[in-house]
Amino acid sequence: MDPSTRHHPQSRRRSWCCSFTAPPPSPENLSLSHLKSFPSNKSEILSKPRANSVPNSPQNSKSGLGLKGRTRIDARRILSPGRVSPIDSDSTVLSVQEEIPAPVDSSTSLPKAQSFRAPAASSSPSSRSADNDTVFDVRLNLRGKSGGCLVLELNSEVLSASSDLFAGLISEYKRNSSGSSSRRKVCRIEVPDVENLRVFRETVELMFEDDIPKRLLKIGVYRCIDILEVSAGIMFTKGVLSCLKYLEAVPWTEEEEEKLRILFTRFKFDDATTRDILSRLYARGSVDSHQHLVRQLVLSITSCTDANARNELKSLVKGLLCRSSVYEDQSDLNKEDLYIACQSCLSSLFSLFEEASGTISHERLSEKEKDRPLIEHISRQVDNINWLLEILFDRQMAEEFVDMWADQGKLLIMHENSSPMVRYELSRVSALLFIAMGTRKLHCRSESRSRLLLAWFGPMMLDFGWLQRCRKGLDVKALEEAMGQTLLTLPLKQQYVLFMEWFQCFSQHGTECPNLSKAFQIWWRRSFLGGSETHAIESR
């Protein structure tokens, strides 16, 4: 290039510049590829600087720090601010201080590269010698795992003041070269196997920023976490504090939150600095404060009077507590808490049926409950019980409820004395239990099944017509099939009693009773035909 086109007097001095070519071979280079003494404990990174190593990969504890690579930076060199050009055969790195006004051929030009301009490390005349190396006296060579290369020419004063790790390396270089020739002025540091050159460069850029928080606002949370990782590795304290302050003040996505969790398991920061962020990531309260969380949520839902809100919350909590939930940790799910909520609903249901049968006065209800029809209160409590049963079925915890429901002798007496449009609500609970047993979702002892059927089979016969007309999400065909299958699990003598009760009821009321004909045929063959003959018939 024509030397006349260079503007030496007007050249602006900067604290760093970058190039995309490798520096020329020199015995002055401080390559880190041969160093083995990087601390294995990452907590030491923030407390004890090492003068002869630079971390580069987060995935490899031996190499210290690294970044999640997302882009590969091709080998190129910035010749002037805002201009890029392909690498020529000359491997010599040209200083960015030289302004090159000549245009770049459009046929060979690369996309415009971003350049960073920072104030000089010092504005005093003593620090601005005519020799360019007194300003750009550190050459940081970043070699990416994917093959890219990035060369940053930096000011040693800014770099040493920002990073304890680089300060140690620069100090060691100055001690070793104190008696050498005056030509050895550039400290060359090489960082091999960098996974993300862009993030490493952005971290270095922050050292020359006057307003780091403003820069982080443009960078965003996801890349800020990467920069935090690099800053921690190179002991860039100001960068670490700025990133932590920014991250604590903004919302996170689930992906960003998980990335932060992983970072905090691999790096140890000062507790006072990270207290606010850790309080968002981990619950530090006592175990007692979370022990009965499920009970609080469930009781809040079962006492909710707004139907739309109650249904929305039921769907939310059930999704959190079911076994197929993405929230795998169910250590806070206590069976006793769920059964306390079940018992509370049963007590409320008992009180409502007392009122329906005229046993108690209407004045025992609250003012808000008096404004609603009695049937609505009963239906709400039954919905609550069935919702709790679905959670118990999913968690294989419903065996005890079978005994609880079979022991509701007072409710059975009130069922006989109540209106059909009210009492059928009780059979909705029985129907859910029968379906769970018939479809093998609920496993309980033979004695429990017998007590349940002997207690609630008769009321089901009476209420089946109402269940068909007011289904409320009930699958009547599935109920008929499940009732028959459940009856066939009892001893044959008990099957005889219950099937004869069904036969008499069905002959008198027809479709107002469940159709158990298929199960009745199976019971008949098992009771009055030989074993081998029954097996042959059932196989056909």
Cβ atoms 232, 267 nearer than 8 A: yes
Do 323 and 274 share a domain, yes or no? no
* Strand blocks (E) in 284-351: none
Do 141 and 220 share a domain, yes or no? yes
| Residue 65 clears pLDDT 70, i.e. is over it | no
Do 257 and 154 share a domain, yes or no? yes
Q: Which of 145-159, 203-217, 320-334 shows the highest mean pLDDT?
A: 203-217
| Residue 355: closest CA among 346, 347, 364, 367 | 364
Do 448 and 504 share a domain, yes or no? yes
Q: Given this model, what pLDDT does residue 192 score?
A: 86
Q: Which of 42-56, 58-72, 438-452 shows the highest mean pLDDT?
A: 438-452
- Report which of residues 403 and 6 the model is more confident about: 403
Tell me the per-residue pLDDT of 117-154, one tens digit each, with 9 for 90 and over.
Answer: 344 544 333 334 334 444 778 888 888 888 788 889 88
Residue 239 lies in a domain: yes
Q: Given this model, what pLDDT does residue 288 score?
A: 53
Indicate the burial class of 152 (C-beta count within 10 angstroms; 0-12, 13-18, 19 or more).
buried
- Report which of residues 316 and 55 the model is more confident about: 316
Do 141 and 200 share a domain, yes or no? yes
Q: Given this model, what pLDDT does residue 494 score?
A: 94
Tell me the per-residue pLDDT of 257-307, one tens digit each, with 9 for 90 and over.
Answer: 999 999 998 888 888 888 889 888 887 655 555 557 888 889 999 999 899
Do 331 and 456 share a domain, yes or no? yes
Phi then psi dihedrals of residue 210, to 5 deg: -80, -30
Do 407 and 458 share a domain, yes or no? yes
- pTM exceeds 0.95: no
Looking at 233, 257, 281, the residue that finishes a domain is: 281
Residue 415 lies in a domain: yes
Q: Given this model, what pLDDT does residue 143 score?
A: 86
> Could you tell me the CATH number of the domain that includes residue 264?
3.30.710.10
Token match 């059975």: residue?
412
Q: Given this model, what pLDDT does residue 320 score?
A: 85
CA dist list (Å): 430 to 1, 186, 357, 378, 396: 93, 86, 20, 15, 18
Residue 123 lies in a domain: no
| Residue 397 confidence class, pLDDT cut points 50, 70, 90 | very high
Number of domains into which the chain is organized: 2
Cβ atoms 357, 417 nearer than 8 A: yes
Residue 57 lies in a domain: no
Residue 196 lies in a domain: yes
| Residue 361 confidence class, pLDDT cut points 50, 70, 90 | low
Q: Given this model, what pLDDT does residue 99 score?
A: 31
Do 324 and 211 share a domain, yes or no? no
Tell me the per-residue pLDDT of 340-359, one tens digit each, with 9 for 90 and over.
Answer: 999 999 999 999 999 887 76
Least confident of 123-137, 154-168, 337-351, 429-443: 123-137
Least confident of 19-23, 132-136, 149-153, 368-372: 19-23
Do 229 and 300 share a domain, yes or no? no
Do 273 and 309 share a domain, yes or no? no
Looking at 281, 301, 326, the residue that finishes a domain is: 281
Domain that holds residue 456: 287-530
Residue 64 lies in a domain: no
Do 272 and 292 share a domain, yes or no? no
Phi then psi dihedrals of residue 92, to 5 deg: -75, 135
Residue 249 lies in a domain: yes
Mean pLDDT (whole number) for 76-102: 32
Looking at 244, 262, 281, the residue that finishes a domain is: 281
CA distance 313 to 473: 18
Least confident of 4-8, 318-322, 454-458: 4-8
Do 387 and 410 share a domain, yes or no? yes
Residue 49 lies in a domain: no
| Alpha-carbon torsion angle 247, 253, 258, 260, nearest 10 | -10
